[in-house]
Amino acid sequence: MTVGIVAVSHSLPLAEAALQLALEMIPGEKPPVALAAGTPDGGFGTDAVAVSEAIATVDQGDGVVVLVDLGSAVLSAEMALEFLPDPEVQVQIVPAPFVEGLLAATVRAATGGDFAAVAAAARTALEPKLDQLGAADPAAEPAAVPQHNATAESGAEAAVTPAATPEPSATAEVRLVNPLGLHARPAGKIAALAGGFNAQVQIINQRGKVAAALSPLAVAGLATKGAETVTITASGADAAQAVKEVAALIAEGFDEADPALLAAASTSAATTAEVMPGEPAGAPAATQPKRRRPLGVSAGRVYGPVLRMGEPLREPAATTIADTAAREAAAQKLGAAFTEVQTQLTAQAAAASGHTAEILQATAMFAADPALRAASEEMVLGDGLNAAAAVWRVASEIATDYEKSGGALAERASDVRSVRDRVVAGLTGQPLPVVPQSPQPFILVARDLAPADTAQLDPQTCLGMILGEGGPTSHTAILARSYGIAAVVDPQAYAQLQDGDQVLLDGSSAEVVLRPDAAAQRTARTEPQLLTELQPLQDPGALASGERVLLLANVGGANDVPLAVERGAEGVGLFRTEFCFLGRTTAPTFAEQKTAYGEVFAGFDGAKVVVRTLDAGSDKPLPFVTNTAEENPALGVRGWRIYAEYPEILEQQLAAIAAAAAEHQAEPWVMAPMISTPAEAAEFVAAATASGLPAAGAKLGVMVETPAAALSAAEIFEIVDFVSIGTNDLAQYTLAADRMLTELAHLNSAWQPAVLRAIAAVGEAAAGRPVGVCGEAAADPLLAAVFVGLGVNSLSMTATALPIVGGALAQLDLATCQRAAAAAIAANDAGAAREAAAAVLQGAQA
């Protein structure tokens, strides 16, 4: 739906001319606009009934903005409100200049502006002219605005209160190649393009004057001309792509480019913001905004050419389906598209293994979610919205809510958008962006990888990744580490790097250098180093001084067992049982669970297998575990806390684990997630004992993921046999930093001294009893050594990292690990902690 516009004028020719001018500014789909002008006999005047009929004609449910020219037109418009057939229609009569206001409102409505935004665009339409002529606005206090059924937020007060403009996250400079510069027609095209992005885009002329790209009047008011340079800035989710496309549009000259100006621009350094050779990609120039700091998320130092991944799908156009039968057919087609996507993702998961399989299965769960389907179908059947637009709106709203919730749930927003894009592509026939393929090694540049994209990633040719979004615990980062691919999250570099650029990338230091010199190139790999090509772990994990350190694998099911065994895992340090529950609308039966757990136990007969009970909620919502809406799911009912509301689910799971363990020779260790107090630990032990787990030879433990559990470790150890530290959540909760905020990603690191102190407290309380780390951090050889120095005696990681970590620990003695841990804890941030530990460890090996 779109905001409707009515133009009320004494003169029909005047209104028609003004509307023609306004529509000239809109290259794409036009918004609903109606004229109520003149008298039936062709004379001058206005008619309240005609105005009322015009309002009813353009009303699509999102409100109607009314523009008027002279005094009696205002009276007719106000009277028309009393004649409306639907008293619920939201109408605002805007005190705006007739021609400029109509143009501004029409363009803003065409670019997706809501009721308040369209009204605000009309009312402020005179400001560019006032500013350009150096005049002051005589209306220091706005007059009262006639409204009909409008709230304060969508009325005059909201319309005249400008929102603060966020700091730009992307910028570019472009030289104008059309002699007349950004006059009305080019300004309209810019507004139409900018309105398609989730971003606030601004144009700045050489004199520093700023105009919102959505306002053709403001852009035209910049009074630019050919050969001048303008700066484009943007903030918001689509900032980088918005700047890129607006800059390209301007650089093309709007079909009126002067050949001489075009030739000059092609050789000018001002055509786009460019990074000079040897500088970090995205290094801020004097005119650039403050940037987010880059973040290394997967170690490795590589050099090679850039290949960019295609941009995500754009939002499909919204259309209305009037016929009931057509709506029902569209709803059926929508349901079939969801089913097809679920089938595709499930098949990909079955063909994959390890983290890739787990992530694909988790994404298939969203495609199977009945609530997502039902809400989309209701929008089609009830509102008459076309299927593609309905899916887009519903899924986008869910993804946004996930992001607002923060924590682990925010990381699943990309999963929801991935399902959305695949369903929309199936409905519309649009091609999905794919991971580029090349026979030669390359560095991938992408905003982020959707879970389904990871199945396309070829670690035999992909040297590294530069991402525009994400953090160390995102799916993409986890997969990069499992493949041994260097990766950095750097929004500025993502926005500026192009296909073919030669880049040096260091995933440890977060360094991205465009066109490095020969000396720097020699410090980096130019060929992939596959972790699977390394020799498997041959000997039990141990330090050079003889202390044992169990080296275990993280698994999500039987599909992961062969690789773990082949890589030399001594057992399983984290069996994520929630993957037995994902992608289902009902809980698995006792028999199904027993079989799934038994398949993993069978692969490790005689070895330790640590089973984590259902870790649902927050980032892993399940249809059959329907908690009430939570303001912050990351701090809500998740993990063991589900037991209070759904005891039957966890009791059945514990019984299935006990039954499976009794039939195999594996050594079962069972732990509960999200335990914060000794009382909760005691509850779990009581439930596990009642299920028969101790009788089956199982050890019982808990995960330490909160500062509360770390501080209570001594009391918890009086109740359980072992603990396992989840470094991802422990870092998030200790530093109070949302894992999905790139700005805070530097805080979400196990290298943070505060996190290391929490781990040290657990190690001290253990006094030699079993303490494991099962987060991805254990795959970092340097951090693994620090963990051992803090009292950790088992490490669980992706199977491909086992040979590297095992080889590194075999070169160190316990005293060295303890010195490295002490140096890291004494540092003042994560980067300094890593450097301090590295200095100690490298010095010991020198």
625 touches 687 (CB < 8 A): no
Is residue 334 assigned to a domain?
Answer: yes
- Take residue 227 and report the two structure tokens written for it: 């050969």
Of the candidates 576, 598, 509, 471, the one whose C-alpha atom is nearest the C-alpha of residue 798 is 576
702 touches 672 (CB < 8 A): yes
254 touches 178 (CB < 8 A): yes
Is residue 31 assigned to a domain?
Answer: yes
SS3 label, residue 308 = strand
Report the domain count for the chain.
5
End of a domain among 486, 521, 556? 521
* Block mean pLDDT (10 aa), the chain, length 846: 88 87 79 88 82 87 88 80 77 87 87 84 78 51 45 32 57 84 79 83 83 79 80 87 89 75 48 39 40 72 92 83 89 92 84 70 78 88 91 89 64 79 90 85 88 72 89 72 84 90 85 87 78 74 96 89 91 89 78 94 92 76 63 74 86 94 90 95 95 88 96 97 94 83 74 97 95 87 96 92 91 96 94 90 76
Query: Which residues sit opposite 790 in a β-bridge?
Result: none
Residue 464 φ/ψ region, left for φ over 0, alpha for ψ in the -120 to 50 degree band, beta for the rest:
beta
Statement to judge: residues 180 and 204 lie in one domain: yes
837 touches 823 (CB < 8 A): yes
pLDDT at 532: 53
Query: Which residues sit opposite 502 in a β-bridge?
Result: 305
The one catalytic residue in 462, 580, 746, 774 is 774
Domain of 703: which CATH number? 3.20.20.60
Of the candidates 456, 420, 461, the one whose C-alpha atom is nearest the C-alpha of residue 443 is 461
Statement to judge: residues 202 and 339 lie in one domain: no
Q: Which domain holds residue 356?
A: 324-428
Measure the CA–CA gap between 830 and 2, rounded to whole angstroms: 49
CA 626, 629, 635, 637: dihedral to nearest 10 degrees?
A: -20
φ, ψ of residue 56 to 5 degrees: the values are: -65, -35
Is residue 151 assigned to a domain?
Answer: yes
Angle (nearest 5°) at CA 768 between 762 and 769: 75
End of a domain among 113, 135, 160? 160
Statement to judge: residues 424 and 443 lie in one domain: no
Statement to judge: residues 154 and 203 lie in one domain: no
Statement to judge: residues 406 and 448 lie in one domain: no
Which H or E element spans position 728? helix 727-735
pLDDT at 369: 79
Statement to judge: residues 405 and 447 lie in one domain: no
Measure the CA–CA gap between 265 and 262, rounded to whole angstroms: 5
Long-range contacts formed by 713-720: CB under 8 A, 24+ apart: 713/761, 713/762, 713/764, 713/765, 713/766, 714/765, 715/678, 716/675, 716/678, 716/681, 716/765, 717/765, 717/766, 717/767, 717/769, 718/678, 719/678, 719/681, 719/682, 719/685, 720/681, 720/685
Which H or E element spans position 211? strand 210-212
Q: Tokens 């036009």 identify what position?
A: 30
- Take residue 403 and report the two structure tokens written for it: 């992001």
Statement to judge: residues 549 and 669 lie in one domain: yes
Which H or E element spans position 724? strand 722-725
End of a domain among 383, 405, 428? 428
Is residue 527 assigned to a domain?
Answer: no
Query: Known catalytic residue: 148?
Result: no
Statement to judge: residues 154 and 204 lie in one domain: no
573 touches 610 (CB < 8 A): yes
Is residue 271 assigned to a domain?
Answer: no
Residues 6+ apart with CB under 8 A from 51: 6, 8, 36, 66, 76, 77, 79, 80
pLDDT at 147: 53
Query: Known catalytic residue: 462?
Result: no
Domain of 359: which CATH number? 1.10.274.10
pLDDT at 658: 94
pLDDT at 208: 74
Of the candidates 793, 770, 282, the one whose C-alpha atom is nearest the C-alpha of residue 496 is 282
Is residue 18 assigned to a domain?
Answer: yes
Statement to judge: residues 252 and 395 lie in one domain: no
SS (H, E, C) 766-797: HCCCCEEECCHHHHCHHHHHHHHHCCCCEEEE
- Take residue 270 and report the two structure tokens written for it: 């001002």
Angle (nearest 5°) at CA 841 between 835 and 844: 140
Give helix 324-351 / helix 370-383 axis angle, nearest 10°.
160
Statement to judge: residues 342 and 368 lie in one domain: yes
Is residue 277 assigned to a domain?
Answer: no
Domain of 26: which CATH number? 3.40.50.510
> How many other C-beta atoms can be found within 10 angstroms of the C-beta atom of residue 323?
10
Is residue 126 assigned to a domain?
Answer: yes
φ, ψ of residue 133 to 5 degrees: the values are: -90, 0
Statement to judge: residues 413 and 491 lie in one domain: no
Of the candidates 773, 782, 387, the one whose C-alpha atom is nearest the C-alpha of residue 610 is 773
673 touches 613 (CB < 8 A): yes
Domain of 237: which CATH number? 3.30.1340.10
Statement to judge: residues 646 and 794 lie in one domain: yes
Measure the CA–CA gap between 757 and 828, rounded to whole angstroms: 12
The one catalytic residue in 475, 580, 664, 746 is 475
- Take residue 249 and report the two structure tokens written for it: 């549009």
